[in-house]
Amino acid sequence: MTRVALIAHDEKKDDLIEFAQTHEAQLREYELIATGTTGKRLMEETDLEIERKQSGPLGGDLMIGSEVAEDRLDGIVFLRDPLRAQPHEPDISALLRICDVHDTALATNLASAEFLIEGLAD
């Protein structure tokens, strides 16, 4: 089954929730994982079933990176805030590196997230 991770910086969580609501029927077809707070909010505001990892500051992004290293993920949507990211939020550089090493799709904005979700559907 297709497996996708969902992560968002604090300022982008609302955007990710709106994205998930818009694509809920399609996302329901995937196994979803998310960092702790993002996953909690997604489950509260959608009917999606999500496996929650630790919150980003506690290593949830690294846990998702290990899933990529074990070839257990087909893609990641990481909506990041390039202008106002806070020090406690996940850093994309490690995820970017592991995704490049394992040829795993990583979307960092809504436009690329649309392409990733549509591409996985094909």
> Given this model, what pLDDT does residue 90 score?
62
Residues known to be catalytic: 61
Residue 37 annotated as lining a ligand binding site: yes
Residue 75 annotated as lining a ligand binding site: no
Q: Tell me the whole-structure pTM to 2 decimals.
A: 0.93
pLDDT in tens, 28-46: 999 999 999 999 999 999 9
> Given this model, what pLDDT does residue 1 score?
87
Q: List Cα–Cα distances, 113 to 60, 71, 73, 76, in angstroms.
A: 20, 20, 15, 8
Q: Would the CA dihedral through 58, 101, 16, 108 be positive or negative?
A: positive
Residue 66 annotated as lining a ligand binding site: no
Structure tokens belonging to residue 26: 């399609």
For the chain, list residues with pLDDT below 70. 84-91
Q: Which amino acid would we find at residue 20?
A: A
> Domains in the chain, please, with CATH?
3-121 (3.40.50.1380)
State how far the Cα of 64 lies from the Cα of 56, in Å rounded to an integer.
Answer: 10
